Structure formats: C-alpha cells, structure tokens
Structure 1
C-alpha cells in the first residue's frame, strides 16, 4: 500500500474522479459522498462506510471491501472485478447492467455447460443441471454443487480421457459419463475460495487457469 489513511471523514464530500489507488483506509467515512469515477483499485478498506455514496463508474478492481458498509450506495457502471465483498453490507445497493462483475457470471436459471482444468492439462466439460445450485463472486470463476461429466479432453491434442483429478482436492475425481457432487458447497457467493465445483463458462477461460 502506498499510504494509510485512518479515521478520516469524507462524508458528503464532492470528490468525482478522485485517485485513491493503492491506499489503505481504516474506519474512513465516505457516506453520502459523490465519488463518481473515483479510483479505489487495489485499495484495502477496513471498517469503512460507503453508505448512500454515489460510486457511479468508480473502479473497485481488486479492492478489499470485506465488512464495509455499502448500504444504499450507487455502483451503477462501476468496475467490481475481483473486489472482495465477503461480509459487506449490500442492503439496497444500487447497480445496473453496466456494473461490471457484480451480477452472477453464470446463468441464474436452467441447465448450461461449464469447463474446468484438471491435472495433466485435462479439460473437463460439465453439464450443470437446472436444479444445481450455482454461484460466482466478482470474477469469471463459478461454482456449483453438482454436475455431469460429459467429456474429458487433452488441452493440446484433444485426446479423450476417462478421468481427471481436480487441482484443489486430489481425492476429487471426474469420470466421463458420471455425476459429481460437492457436499461442501458454500451458497455464499461473496466467499470466493470455498467449497463447490469450480468451473468456467468457456473452454478458453478454463485453459487460461493457472
């Protein structure tokens, strides 16, 4: 962090396009402030209050907002990519179709296909059924509680395989034609690294996973 700001009062201030990039905020009050197009990317916000602030088109890319108060804030058009929102107060939060990476990344209803990368550069194609619980946080990684394994192919040669082993849990094996279920599925979408079957919406995204 380039700087630390503690116990400061920015409430009701007019601060459009403010550059707060890479700052650590502790118990800072931004409530009711105009922060349109402000840059909070890569910020660590500890017990901060953004309630009813205007955050239109602001950047919160890779910002840590865990436990912060965003009640009634307006994040229309904001960039929330990889922001951390676990435990944040999101009551009456205002967002729109231009708010990036806030809505669920995968379909909210119905069946669809997903892809994941396993050991040995094997790409698993999954059918996520209509009754599967599914979720995502603020990036393109999704999770579900159950899926059917349709195909397992080599990432480079497209050779078929019968099984693949998950990166996160070596005992979790995907077998072609079989159903898999994550009994530890966590329905809290804002907890990014947690229980569930992790997948991507496209094969290209899965292949890019490191």
Structure 2
C-alpha cells in the first residue's frame, strides 16, 4: 500500500529532487516550497496546497491533483501527462513551451482533421471545422462538438465503409459524408471523460486507442 501523509506543513521547504512517487497526500501544504525536479508521478493529492511553489521540471505524470491549489505555481518544464486537474485552482499558474501536456494538444483555432476508432476496428476520419468547439485535457485525446465524416476505413485492410458505431454510445452513428454533432459537449477541458466527439490528431494515435 502507498504511504499516506496527512495534515503536514511543508511550506517554504527546500525539497528539490524529492521522490514522492506513489504517495497519497491529504491536506498537505507545499505552498512556496522549492520542489524543482521532484517526482509526484502516480500520487493522489487531496486538498493539497501548491500555491506559489517552484514546480519546475516536476513529474506529475498520472497524478491526481483534482481540487488542489496551484495558484501562482511555476510548472515550467513539468510533465503533466495524464495528471487530473478537474476543479484545481490554476489562477496565474506559470508554464512554458517545455511544459508537457498542459497546453491544448489540438490546435485551438482553424479547421483540423482528426481520427477516431469505432466498433469493428473502423477508423473514422473527421473534418473539425473552424467554428467547432474543441478541447483536450492532459493527454493526446481531444474532443469537439461537431465534425464532418470524411472517410471510414478498416483499420487493417483499409476497406471503405459507409457507417461506424461509436464506442461510448451505441446510438451515435458516423456516416460517410454526413455531419455529426454532440449536444452534450462539455467545454471544461479538465474533465477528461465527458461529453463530446472524441478524436485524435493522427490515425496512429486513434489505432492505438483501447
């Protein structure tokens, strides 16, 4: 079982490079601490305070940070892959081009082409128009509210199909040449599994989806 730390005050501490992998933190105060290069991968953080902490080059890979306070924290160069940030306070958070998986994975503006995997190993190629709302959390999966079906092909043989059925909703049918719209699109990008048309930026990413 992972170690559990509860109601600890680590504010203003020098904790650079600390290895906290797989630890559960409950109401731990890391505010204004130097945590540069620390490893928080696979950690569960419940009501923790990272406000104004130095989190440069930290690994938050697969860390649960939902509801935590990261106001003013510096996550420059940090690895945020598959971290959960739903409900976290991200006010004035500092990040840069080296921060991984914090910025939107898909382009925020302009028309784009996306791909999704459906039942029967069918790969659907989608045109996401310029006015479509789109978003992504902290991984390579994206969501949008509407798209046009360009092609539907067998993942292995490349055979063409006219229809494909979505994994998440058996009543959601993709038909070649037709528009589809998700009425339940959730614009909150930090809610990972939620309403919308899920897609990936490349066919290879869609094929790898399980």
Same fold (TM over 0.5): yes
Matched, 1:127 2:123: no
User: 1:205 is paired with a residue of what secondary structure?
Assistant: helix
| Structure-1 separation of matches of 2:107 and 2:130 | 10
| Structure-2 separation of matches of 1:39 and 1:135 | 27
| Structure-1 separation of matches of 2:90 and 2:166 | 33
Q: CA deviation at 1:2?
A: 1.6
| Structure-1 separation of matches of 2:142 and 2:11 | 36
TM-score by length of 2: 1.00
State the match for 2:31 in structure 1.
Answer: 31
State the match for 1:193 in structure 2.
Answer: 193
Matched, 1:6 2:13: no
Q: Map of 1:165-180 to 2, 5 A cutoff?
A: 165-180=165-180
| Structure-2 separation of matches of 1:137 and 1:25 | 23
| Structure-2 separation of matches of 1:70 and 1:102 | 13
Give the ranges of 4+ consecutive aligned residues of structure 1 lying more than 4 Å apart after TM superposition: none
How many aligned residue pairs are there?
210
TM-score by length of 1: 1.00
User: 1:198 is paired with a residue of what secondary structure?
Assistant: strand
Q: Map of 1:131-146 to 2, 5 A cutoff?
A: 131-146=131-146
Any unmatched runs of 5+ in structure 2? none
State the match for 1:71 in structure 2.
Answer: 71
| Structure-1 separation of matches of 2:24 and 2:112 | 40
| Structure-2 separation of matches of 1:87 and 1:121 | 35
| Structure-1 separation of matches of 2:63 and 2:190 | 13
Q: Map of 1:9-20 to 2, 5 A cutoff?
A: 9-20=9-20
Q: CA deviation at 1:158?
A: 0.2
RMSD: 0.4
| Structure-1 separation of matches of 2:53 and 2:190 | 21
User: 1:204 is paired with a residue of what secondary structure?
Assistant: helix
Q: Map of 1:141-160 to 2, 5 A cutoff?
A: 141-160=141-160
